[in-house]
Amino acid sequence: MRPSGTKAKLRHAVRLFRAYTLLIAGAIFLLFPLVWLVSSALKPDGMEFVYPPKLVPDPIMWENFPRAFSAQPLLQFARNSAIIAVFTTIGSVISSSLVGYGFARLRFRGRDFLFNVLVATMILPEIVTLIPTFLLFRAIGWNNTFLPLIVPFFFGGGPFKVFLMRQFFLTLPVELEDAARIDGAGTLTIWLRIMAPLALPAEAAVAIFSFIGAWNEFLRPLVYLAAKDLWTFAVGLKFFIHEFYANWNLIMAAALVMMLPVAILFLIAQRYFVQGVAATGLSGR
């Protein structure tokens, strides 16, 4: 019944042309700010705002990066962010995997109620708990340490991550677990030796979310870290913008440096990232 020959081929070509035109237009639109960021980070002083705008800097100022790094201790800020992000990731992956396993596979009274509570906490605005949590950490002397930014992630890592892990564990076959249980393995052993390794794709997604989330986080480091030598990149960059208000090439260079780790991580591991987001979003079903 399909119309054959040249007519169909032509229609196919038109469809392809339309698809790629729209896709390329979309990509240019969405990526233009980042392209301009890179271009401006490499422009000589005073050339950031020339009219008409120039995409390719002349000359290309690679020196802007060392200049930005020596203007403020960006390396120190980056190291602080990296430490917080790494520990956040470790805590989130271990605890969300364990808790997600519990909610998916173990049977106990009150489980479904508690899981609904967990889901409900997703809508809780962070600022509501931030004030008393800040007071609590201040009272125990954790102000101006990384602990308030790291320790809470060892307690499940947040409702989205537990939810994601639980959804993944629900899809795994029960037979493996049953076999191990018959062999006398305990629950924690089954999780650690059998289930956690099988859930690596979901754990990878949690790891990427955690790292990127911690690296990008602004409000909590701003609240907890007053001492400059503890600032994260996000807090330091805010200060940098203030300090070098006219030097947009240096600000753009610093912003680009802050973006690079997450952009690279995303490009490497985007498959897990995207699958993780999709799995959380299909929660309605």
Partner 1 sequence: MSIIVEKTSARTRQSIRWRKKLRDDLRGYLVISPWLIGFVLFTAGPMIASAYLSFTKYDVFSPPRWAGLANFARMVDDRLFYVALRNTAEYAVMAVPIQLISALFFAVLLNQKVRGIGIFRTLFYLPSVTPGVANAALWMFLLNPQFGVVNALLKAAGLPTSRFLTSIDTVRPTMAMLSLWYIGTNMVVFLAALQGVPDELYEAAEMDGATSVRKFVHITLPMISPSILFNFIIGLIGSFQVFGFVYIATEGGPANASLMYVLYIYRHAFENFRMGYASALAWVLFVIVLVFTMIQFSLSKRWVYYEGGTEAS
* Cβ proximity of 234 and 258 under 8 Å: yes
Question: 132, 141, 173, 184: which one contacts partner 1 (CB under 8 A)?
Answer: 132
Q: How many residues does the chain have?
A: 285
Of 139-198, which residues contact partner 1 (CB under 8 A)? 152, 154-156, 162, 187-188, 191
Of 28-87, which residues contact partner 1 (CB under 8 A)? 30-31, 33-34, 36-37, 40, 48-49, 51-53
By CB under 8 A, how many residues form the interface with partner 1?
A: 96
* Binding flags for partner 1, 231-250, as an x/- string (CB under 8 A): --xx--xx--x------x--
- Kindly state the smallest distance separating residue 279's Cβ from partner 1, in Å: 8
Find the part of the chain contacting partner 1 (CB under 8 A) among 3-11, 24-32, 68-76, 196-204: 24-32
Nearer to partner 1, 31 or 200 (CB): 31
Question: 3, 5, 173, 281: which one contacts partner 1 (CB under 8 A)?
Answer: 281
Nearer to partner 1, 106 or 179 (CB): 106
Question: 56, 135, 174, 182: which one contacts partner 1 (CB under 8 A)?
Answer: 135
- Kindly state the smallest distance separating residue 126's Cβ from partner 1, in Å: 7
Cα–Cα distance between 16 and 274 in angstroms, integer?
Answer: 25
The reply to whether 90 sits near partner 1 by the rule CB under 8 A is: no
Cα–Cα distance between 273 and 106 in angstroms, integer?
Answer: 27
- Kindly state the smallest distance separating residue 262's Cβ from partner 1, in Å: 5
